[in-house]
Each structure stands twice: as C-alpha cells, then as structure tokens.
Amino acid sequence: MTFAARGTDAAAVLRARANPDGGFSPVQGTSEPEPTAVAALALAADPAGEAARSWLRDHQRRGGTWAAISGLPRPTIAPTALGALVLDDGEQRTRAVDALTRLRAPVLKGTTPPHEPVRRGWGWTPRMFGWVEPTSWATLALKRLRPTERVLVEDGERVLSDRECVGGGWNYGNRTVYGQDLAPFLLTTAIALIGLQNTGRGELLARGTRLLRARWRDERGGLTTALALIALRLAAGDDDVDATAVRGALIDDLDEIVAFGDNLALAWTSVALNGDLDALRIRS
C-alpha cells in the first residue's frame, strides 16, 4: 500500500541525496553501510536502490560483514544484518548471514550484571556486550533468512526478554544500572518489536506494543517516529488506528526531517510511509 505525503516526497529527496558511488552517507560525505542498506530498502524497485545494493556488494568484507568506512574499520553487526536483508538471495547474502552466526557477543565472565550472563545476543561490534538494537536486527535477519538457526534465534529472543524494562519496552542495553530501573526508549522499543515478530513470547510483545501505542507522541522525532510506524504496520497492519495517527504525524514532520539532513532518518521515513515491508516481515 502506498501513502502520499503532503507536499514533500521522502523517496524523491532520498534519491537525490545518493552519492556518486551509489551509496549514502549518514549526513553528507563518505558513503556508509547502514544508511546505504536502509536506502536500498526504501528505494527497492528504483534504479537508485539497485545502485545502493551494488555499493553494498562492492564493500562487503571477505568475512561477510560490512564495516564503517570512516573511523575504525571494525565489522558492524546491525549494518551486516540490514545488508543481508536487502541483498538479493545469493552468495553474498549467505556470507552475511554466516557472519551473524559467528559474531555473537561474548559471554560475560567475572561480573554480576543484572541479566543472565549466559545469554549472548549481538553487540555493535564483535567482542562487545550484547545490546538491544544489534540483537534485534540480527535476530530478525536470522528469522527471515535462516530460520533453521533456532538456537541463535532463541538466544536473541531470550536476551531481549531478559533486558526488557520494568513495565515493558527497552532501553539500549540493561534494564537496571546500579540498582536503578532504566526507562524504556521508543526507538529501541520499536526496533525490538520488529525483531520479536512471530515470537512465542506474546506477553513480551504485547507489553512493548502497549508502550509504543501509549507513548509515541512523547518522543516524536524522525527516526523514532518512522520506526514506531514500521513496528505498528508489521504488528497490526496499515489500517490500525495508531498506525494511521503515527503516519499522519510523520507526514506532518517530513519537511523538518528533510531539513535536518539525517539521511538514515529520511531513509527509514521513506520505508515507513511508502516502503514494502516484506523484507522486514516474519510470517507465521
């Protein structure tokens, strides 16, 4: 289903921001894997989307991952999961999924964290503590592209269950720090809900969805609102009353999102408003 935005066309603006090499930068400058992968999702049937996928193919590392072009060239988990989801089925997608199966977070030893230390999930980079966002994207990619990896999918879902904030929703990592309960954020809650599609943990999903419905107005912002809309569209369908309200808010904020210049937020906005969500959907 396609929804026309009032005035600004998010996909058209995104298309115009492609770099000459076919990739997309977070704001401006060097192309990077994550905004390029999301732009490929947003522009899936467009020549600019194919150019973005070509950029991803050209910049995939030998081990199947993608790494930041600027800064330390370490493999990055979330862009690797997103890259796997948007590439056509083939050898490069297979190598990306293989990398996700190898690069889980280490087991924490000698500590007493407020969660189960034997649950690993995925960190932002290998050898990093498991965080909610990369764990959610990796779990989603494995569910969609290699559902036979049941042990890894279960581990990802257990991590997300273990890190749930008191009352529902998710912070970035732990649910408590130094004995203090952490508040959930809408951005990480939306991403966790996308990763938890079709889970057997229905109450976990229900608590997060209730939080998203109740609080989406409190944390309005391009990236957060876009991912909240995607989570609601996947969970409840395009005609859901809250999805309709969030869509209207995102359209109202579109000129501001464009002016801010964040290409990752713009790409997710384009996905949320007009994108085909099949690449992110887990069917029962």
Domain boundaries, the chain: 10-280
**Average pLDDT, stretch 10-38?**
96
Residue 115 has pLDDT above 60, yes or no: no
Least confident of 87-101, 108-122, 166-180: 108-122
Sign of the Cα torsion 54, 153, 226, 115 reads: negative
Residue 234: which of 187, 194, 276 has the closest Cα? 194
CB distance 19 to 31 below 8 Å = yes
pTM for this one? 0.93
110 Cα distance to chain centroid? 31
Q: What is the DSSP letter of 218?
A: G
Report the percent of the chain where pLDDT is more than 70: 93
Q: Which CATH architecture has domain 10-280?
A: Alpha/alpha barrel (1.50)
Residue 153 has pLDDT above 80, yes or no: yes
Residue 154 has pLDDT above 70, yes or no: yes
End-to-end CA separation in angstroms for the chain = 21
* Band of pLDDT at residue 117, cut at 50, 70 and 90: low
Strand, helix or coil at 65? coil
pLDDT for 150 equals 95
Q: How many CA atoms lie within 13 A of 248 on its CB side?
A: 7
Residue 68: Cβ within 10 Å count: 17
Residue 110 has pLDDT above 70, yes or no: no
Name the more confident of 245 and 180.
245
Residue 102 has pLDDT above 80, yes or no: yes
Please give the mean pLDDT across all residues of the chain: 91
pLDDT for 7 equals 53
* Band of pLDDT at residue 4, cut at 50, 70 and 90: very low
**Average pLDDT, stretch 55-63?**
96
Within the chain, residue ranges assigned H as helices are 10-16, 33-42, 47-59, 77-86, 91-102, 132-145, 150-162, 186-195, 202-215, 222-236, 241-252, 254-260, 263-274
pLDDT for 113 equals 54
Strand, helix or coil at 180? strand
Q: What is the DSSP letter of 176?
A: E
Q: What is the rounded CA–CA span in Å between residue 230 and residue 191?
A: 9
Least confident of 99-113, 150-164, 189-203: 99-113
